[in-house]
Amino acid sequence: MTTPSTRYAQFKLVLLGESAVGKSSLVHRFVKDSFDEYRESTIGAAFLTQTVNVDENTTVKFEIWDTAGQERYKSLAPMYYRNANCAVVVYDITQAASLDRAKAWVKELQRQANESIVIALAGNKLDLESDREVDTSVAQSYADEAGLLFYETSAKSGENVLELFTGIAKKLPIDA
Ligand code: GDP
């Protein structure tokens, strides 16, 4: 009997996006599998780790930097994305303006971050479908054009959250 070879790799991931789109809630859902309506907002940045199994032989560990979205912390962002292997840029599907902000972050990452950075766009608050302002097809077309992975997620229900992080993990360079 042969033992399957196991592969393990560690990557730095940064979350960016306007304040209150649900960055911390997405991380919380991913890391703790829970949602807390009343958690305090992030000051500066928070650091957490979580692993995902890409397939039965491959495990990816994410070192997650959850940045604060407030304007006053904006100048700190380069410190977090500079050495990042991957980024999740989050908007809120019920706030059209938050997609504009997300696009600006993508532009900044594509200009200033590591050339090989894997970027995913996440349209969060998918559970608030009745308040939707951003059509899925509009965001999908933009993501395709810009070369981004794209997921609509709900940190509240958990829908697509693991899929988002697993999707990123699958795009990362893991040595055999
Ligand atoms: P951040 O500032 O981007 O980190 O956003 P937070 O994670 O602090 O979330 C901002 C607000 O949106 C909080 O009141 C959260 O409870 C709420 N929120 C976050 N994600 C979701 C979601 O998927 N659905 C709903 N309905 N509310 C969410």
Closest ligand 1 atom to residue 154 Cα is: 23
Q: In this predicted model, what pLDDT tens digit does every residue of 22-41 receive, in sequence order?
A: 999 999 999 998 888 877 77
Decide whether any atom of ligand 1 lies within 6 Å of the 85 Cβ. Answer: no
Answer yes or no: is the C-beta of 25 below 6 A from any ligand 1 atom.
yes
* Cβ atoms of 64 and 97 closer than 8 Å: no
Tell me the pLDDT tens digit for each residue of 55-110: 999 999 999 998 876 666 777 889 889 999 999 999 999 999 999 999 999 999 99
Whole-model pTM over 0.80: yes
Residue 38 alpha carbon to ligand 1 centre in Å = 9
pLDDT of 6-17, one tens digit each?
A: 899 999 999 999
SS (H, E, C) 96-114: HHHHHHHHHHHHHHHHHCC
Name the closest-CA residue to atom 15, ligand 1: 37
Q: From the CB of 40, is ligand 1 less than 6 Å away?
A: no
Q: With a 6 A CB cut-off, is 64 part of the ligand 1 pocket?
A: no
Atom of ligand 1 nearest to the CA of 21: 3
Q: Is the CB of 125 under 6 A from ligand 1?
A: yes
- Sequence-ordered list of residues with C-beta below 8 angstroms from that of 62, at least 6 positions apart, any chain: 10, 11, 12, 13, 49, 50, 51, 52, 86, 165, 169
Contacts of 74 (CB under 8 A, 6+ apart): none
* Both structure tokens of 70: 């407030």
Beta strands at 45-55 and 58-67: parallel, antiparallel or unpaired: antiparallel
